[in-house]
Structure 1
């Protein structure tokens, strides 16, 4: 799918009439957004910039030399974006930015939220982005803001888990139950989301550093200043994500430790109850033997005496357990 955006009097406007046309893209084109492009759409974009675009296989490369390069004055940068962060299966998707002069071409196969938001805003034609570098800055800032929002929301989620499950000196109230499996799932999902966010931030960090160095590419002074500022934001977010990853590890260890302690308490209670029931059972087994020459079988108070002995044999171990503070 090809989306064509043109410079309309200094503002970015979505030229939807040119999206499906077979003619060359308009000369005022500033940004071409390719979502799962076809061969014809790639050919139209390559004809505009006069250089080949990265293929899907090339976008999947992880070497920095393959992702960040300048060929014949055309700057090609590939990063990973965090997508589907609001679902149970967050993913990272590769996005390529190809900057040729004042024109930008983006290639992606999953639509990041920042691209969707910018396309919606460009429908009204009131965005002051007259050249490709400004569009690139807007898209990268949108990706960074989206990642920051996800990390902030994940931090709130981790705080909620911490407050509900680990209350410091305050013990769980009697009768209160917690779904430990759900807690572990929430912690695991948060860790998975933070890991995806850190992968995206690492790629953005490398791209912005490459862009700010301006090696082989004549970027404007304001653009380089923006790249350095955005690089500081990405570095700070990566440090915050590292802090959140450490918090996930601490919560996971604490949750597993608490579950282990609670299971040990249950096993201890069951073991003590078994010990307390053993002496009365032994008395009942002995007194209940059905032999002909059973001693005391003719005693008139044998039955109540057996009951009393069973009661005492249960109370004495219980008193001993209470004195030792095992329960």
Structure 2
């Protein structure tokens, strides 16, 4: 059954379940703001799927949420980006960001190959650690349609290791004697999630937070070209129905359109705030839907290798970030 043919009555049970899961995840996040609502949602979905047998009636609605709603959330992520702020970093910092993202992805893919990890799983972890955490994992999944347990493992890895970086990076910055600005650049260039970068930048203090966020958003904007490259690779294999995937997925064009709209400054702050809230809710709902496809038996079969790879990827991105900061400085 294809998503666009699902009737509203067929989709309602799954949409209602996803809505309930999203509400619970957001509520928990309000109590525990340090924990990503996306991670909470995928854990809730997995618990729900393994604690009870979900009826077949919820599947059409959950499929819509895990695909279409996911793409909406990724597209709206573009509303957080202002090209002028990113260009204001200067040529050296922009090159640094490109090296971090490209080097992080290529290096992680290579290490994952040595560990014997399937390409889809290492690509998810590589992009999550190198670009923007769970949102990048979800976006890449929207292009390659990976297995649900691979997505869950990748999201868990990037959120956990990114969270560990929140206290570690400010401490290491102090030990290395970095200025607030340099420490902020390192945080923005190395930590996985935007929210985690904000937390670390705030701990460093001074001018660190502002520069950390801008550097991080520069990494986020590279999500679009990375997804385009992945999509081109996917086109090399003809799908079972004889059709090739689009050269550039529609939601990537939506992401770029949102970046353009935000950059020209025509969107009121109120609308931007609403868009951000919708983006968080959409991605949280998608994570819950993906979580319901995870079975513990399948998750156990993933083993420890993804976590080893995520450790290596986190260290690699951090080293590339520090090297870039020292080179630019």
Q: Which has the higher contact order (CA 8 A, sep 6+)?
A: 2
Mark yes or no: TM-score above 0.5: no
Structure index of larger Rg: 1
TM-score range, shorter chain: under 0.3
What is the TM-score normalised by the length of structure 1? 0.27
What is the TM-score normalised by the length of structure 2? 0.27
